[in-house]
Amino acid sequence: MDILRWENNGLLLLDQTRLPDAAEYCRCGHYRQVARAIKELQVRGAPAIGIAAAFGYALAAVNFTAEDRSLEQFLAQAAQELRETRPTAINLAWALDRMAELYQTVKHAGLDQVREALLNGAERLLADQKEQDQRIGAVGSQVVPERAELLTYCNTGALATAGTGTALGVISYAHRAGKQIHVYVPETRPLLQGARLTAWELEQAGIPCTLITDNMAGYLFAQGLVDLVIVGADRIVTNGDFANKIGTYGLAVLADHHHRPFFVAAPASTFDFSLRAGGEIPVEMRAPEEVRTFRGHPVAGDGIRVLNPSFDVTPHHLVSGYITEAGILQPPFDERVFTENMGERS
């Protein structure tokens, strides 16, 4: 099932807010609808929002009419609106930068050719992501023992990348390779990406899994029930600190305390070489209603004060290794690690 695809001059998105109750697509015919879909998590997961934003940029060229300012200004405005939807995952800004660079190389062509080039550019980012996911799966599978109890977090599967996934891609690769694995899936409050999306994807792939509430992870470690943790990332900075779904830091501390390996799986587009340490990563704050409610039902009074950071930052010393398409890496990171191992980042 495609999580996004271009159809009839618009972007179709599998609406992830409706899963697993309904598998329905929403259609974006304007780039502002793509921006709203990203903000409202109809499409989510760091690589997937980057690719959706790239298609949103291509869609802006389709939306452009002669009454607007110049195409260049219109695209710059679209890129800014798309970029501001979610501040933590660097893949979003990365994909938009690639699209803006592409525009610079074709801007003197006719409008139809520019539109075609931008659409091809977005399709290329999608194809690249699929390839990178395959490599991440193969590389990461090496750290998974023949028999293992795994723990992952949030959702890092096909739904999060539009390919085969990062951390969940490693897990499914290991399963397909015949390893006897079982996966613990914390539900991932407040929006339940673990319960609604990861458990659903694992079940569809026939991978044995057990759903837990987030506060049960400590119990599992104390009982010796977890051999290995693999998570995804929204931004990894030069010293190896990384942002991921709120709650990841606590899992890393637990893994460290119980001497269990803790791996991060992510493509090159998740690395931000412009920041030195995790404290510099902007953390998205989301609406209080997400915490005051559970799947739309109130669980606390309207007036209760709420804190809702969508991500936390895990320090590098808690990470055993970074599973990427260029191999299993150790910090400090710079661009060369990908250019040397993979050729150009794209």
Task: Considering the candidates 128, 133, 234, 241, report the single residue annotated as catalytic.
Answer: 234
Residue 133 is among the residues annotated as catalytic for this protein: no
CB of 271 to ligand MRU, least distance (A): 13
* Dist CA 239 CA 45 (whole Å): 23
Alpha-helical runs (H) found in the chain: 31-39, 46-63, 71-83, 90-106, 111-141, 158-161, 167-176, 199-205, 217-222, 248-257, 289-292, 336-342
**Which listed residue (28, 61, 151, 154) binds ligand MRU by CB under 6 A?**
154
CB of 106 to ligand MRU, least distance (A): 30
| Among 40-48, 77-85, 140-148, 275-283, the segment contacting ligand MRU (CB under 6 A) | 40-48
> Torsion angle of alpha carbons 106, 111, 117, 121, nearest 10°?
100
The interface mask with ligand MRU, positions 241-260, x = CB under 6 A, is ---xx---------------
**Which listed residue (31, 45, 238, 275) binds ligand MRU by CB under 6 A?**
45
Per CB under 6 A, which of residues 189..228 are in contact with ligand MRU?
193
Quick check: helix, strand or coil at residue 21? coil
Burial status of residue 234 (CB atoms within 10 A of its CB: 0-12, 13-18, 19 or more): buried
Quick check: helix, strand or coil at residue 156? coil
What are the b/e assignments for 133-158, b being 16+ CB within 10 Å?
Answer: bebbbbbbbebbeeebbbbbbbbbbb
Nearest to residue 185, comparing CAs of 196, 172, 175?
196
Counting contacts by CB under 6 A, is residue 46 touching ligand MRU?
yes
CB of 49 to ligand MRU, least distance (A): 7
| 26 CB-near residues (< 8 Å, 6+ apart) | 12, 13, 15, 37, 42
Q: Which residue is nearest to ligand MRU (CB)?
A: 232
Closest to ligand MRU by CB, 33 vs 85, is 85
The interface mask with ligand MRU, positions 79-118, x = CB under 6 A, is ----------x-----------------------------
Per CB under 6 A, which of residues 309..328 are in contact with ligand MRU?
310
SS3 letters across 297-342: EECCCCCCCCCCECEEEECHHHCCEEEECCEEECCCCCCHHHHHHH
CB of 129 to ligand MRU, least distance (A): 10
| Among 39-47, 217-225, 295-303, 325-333, the segment contacting ligand MRU (CB under 6 A) | 39-47
Handedness of CA 102, 104, 110, 111 (dihedral sign): positive
**Which listed residue (234, 241, 272, 325) binds ligand MRU by CB under 6 A?**
234
Quick check: helix, strand or coil at residue 6? strand
**How crowded is residue 8: how many other Cβ atoms within 10 Å of its Cβ?**
7
* Dist CA 92 CA 115 (whole Å): 20
Nearest to residue 119, comparing CAs of 57, 31, 162, 66?
57
**Which listed residue (13, 31, 42, 44) binds ligand MRU by CB under 6 A?**
44
Counting contacts by CB under 6 A, is residue 47 touching ligand MRU?
yes
Counting contacts by CB under 6 A, is residue 264 touching ligand MRU?
no
Counting contacts by CB under 6 A, is residue 172 touching ligand MRU?
no
Counting contacts by CB under 6 A, is residue 43 touching ligand MRU?
no
* Binding-residue total with ligand MRU (CB under 6 A): 17
Residues that bind ligand MRU (CB under 6 A): 44-47, 89, 154, 156, 160-161, 166, 193, 232-234, 244-245, 310
Catalytic sites, residue numbers: 234
